[in-house]
Structure 1
Amino acid sequence: MESARRKPRSDASRNRERLIEAAKTVLAGGGPGASLEAVAREAEVGIGTLYRHFPTREALFQAVYRREVEQLIELASALEVQSSALEALRHWIHALVDLVETKRGLLGTLSLVPTEGSKAMYAEVSGRLQEAVRQLVAGAIATGEIRSDITAEDLLSTAYAVGYSRPAGPEWKAHVLRVIDIFLDGMKIR
């Protein structure tokens, strides 16, 4: 007989959220101070609490990544009501660059090798992410703001390619956003 799963205690839920936020901040920054111990310190919990919530580095990475993607999906829905569909798309792509920045830092810091579990998670969230941006692209096409042959895959591929083509550094984000803006401006109907 299966026992019913209990709802996590509120302090456990808070600790989990604090750990995810701390991991995003500490690990995405990389460098020698980016360790799981540093994540626990930043979240103001013990290392045992970190491992209780995230028994592996991969579990922590997946939690951070999944939360970032969920926020992007929610943002896409919120942006669909903006007056300029192109500016909504621009806002969303800029937020996607933040996800790329986080993912780059996490992968470098945690030295993860993708497993079957992580591949399945990426496939699931990637499909949802594509659907979210597909709606924004459709809106910009419908209002005549961008070319009708642009696809969600075009935008995502470009953002990822630009994001991963330049080495990390202090100017990384400014450069990536500049190139993304040039690309978006090139999609406009003149």
Structure 2
Amino acid sequence: MTGHEGDAVRSRRPLRADAQRNEDRLLEVAAAAFAREGAGASVKDIARVAGVGVGTLYRRFPSKELLIEAVYRQEVQRLCEVAPHLTAMQPPVDALRSWMERFIDFMAAKQGMADALAVVLTDESERLQTRALLADAIAHLLAAAQTESKARPGVDARDVLMALGGISLMAGSEEQRDLAGRLIDLLLYGIVTN
């Protein structure tokens, strides 16, 4: 994929409501397929499960790499946007834990797409920007917990992000979900005050 193709994905015109629903469904199904089967997931199966034709998929995403890139970007955006919603809906420690679990799910999908993402996301500044966005989401969650004296002051969101990355590498697969939960509990034990 050239830089121009990536620019085309990012600078598309707004979609009609029905087309946006189709795209959202495609990205949701693709994220699950890539998490389960990796980048080798069938585009034809993704379109079928999403309830659209393969032609619709290819009109929006002319290559599998562009679909993978779009899934990745949407998942990052969703993960970052959910942090304030979680803090509004749950006690701060529960919100932090919920976000951490979502992060592990995100990383499982990302690992399934790792080979393709290495080709698509070649810009180091973009990777750093993604890390900064994720750290900002964690910082929001930590601030909410610290405001209620539920989290230790001075916990660095980037350190939490790195620890979560390690957890996802060790226990990010579906078969190791219990281990991931226990490791999240250990991480929270270091963050949460009694």
TM-score range, shorter chain: 0.7 to 0.9
**Structure 1 residue 32: Cα displacement:** 10
- Tell me the residue number matched to 1:63: 70
- CA deviations over 1:99-124 (Å, ceiling 9, x no partner): 1122122336xx44334566554433
TM (norm. structure 2) is: 0.79
**Conserved in 2, the CA contact under 8 Å of 1:20 and 1:64?**
yes
- Tell me the residue number matched to 2:154: 149
**Structure 1 residue 188: Cα displacement:** 2.5
- CA deviations over 1:143-176 (Å, ceiling 9, x no partner): 22222231111211111111112474x4222211
Alignment partner of 2:144 out of 139, 144, 153: 139
Which amino acid is 1:16 matched to? E
Counterpart check, 1:172 vs 2:179: no
Bigger Cα displacement from structure 2, 116-125 vs 97-106: 116-125
**Conserved in 2, the CA contact under 8 Å of 1:27 and 1:39?**
no
Bigger Cα displacement from structure 2, 134-143 vs 91-100: 134-143
- The secondary structure found in structure 1 opposite 2:118 is coil
**Conserved in 2, the CA contact under 8 Å of 1:97 and 1:177?**
no
Which amino acid is 1:74 matched to? E
- Map 1:1-80; keep pairs closer than 5 Å: 7-30=14-37, 34-80=41-87
Alignment partner of 2:134 out of 129, 135, 151: 129
**Conserved in 2, the CA contact under 8 Å of 1:23 and 1:39?**
yes
Structure (1 or 2) with the greater helix fraction: 2
Distance (whole Å) between structure 1 residues aligned to residue 151 and residue 46 of structure 2: 42
Distance (whole Å) between structure 2 residues aligned to residue 143 and residue 101 of structure 1: 32
Distance (whole Å) between structure 1 residues aligned to residue 183 and residue 135 of structure 2: 21
What is the aligned length?
A: 183
Which amino acid is 2:57 matched to? L
User: Share of identical aligned residues, percent?
Assistant: 34
Counterpart check, 1:103 vs 2:110: yes
Gaps of 5+ in 2: 1-11
* Backbone CA RMSD of aligned residues: 2.7
**Conserved in 2, the CA contact under 8 Å of 1:80 and 1:139?**
yes
Q: CA 1:189/1:112 → structure 2, altered by over 3 Å: closer, same or farther?
A: closer
**Conserved in 2, the CA contact under 8 Å of 1:24 and 1:102?**
yes
Gaps of 5+ in 1: none
Counterpart check, 1:89 vs 2:74: no
Structure with greater Cα Rg: 1
**Conserved in 2, the CA contact under 8 Å of 1:97 and 1:159?**
yes
**Conserved in 2, the CA contact under 8 Å of 1:27 and 1:35?**
no
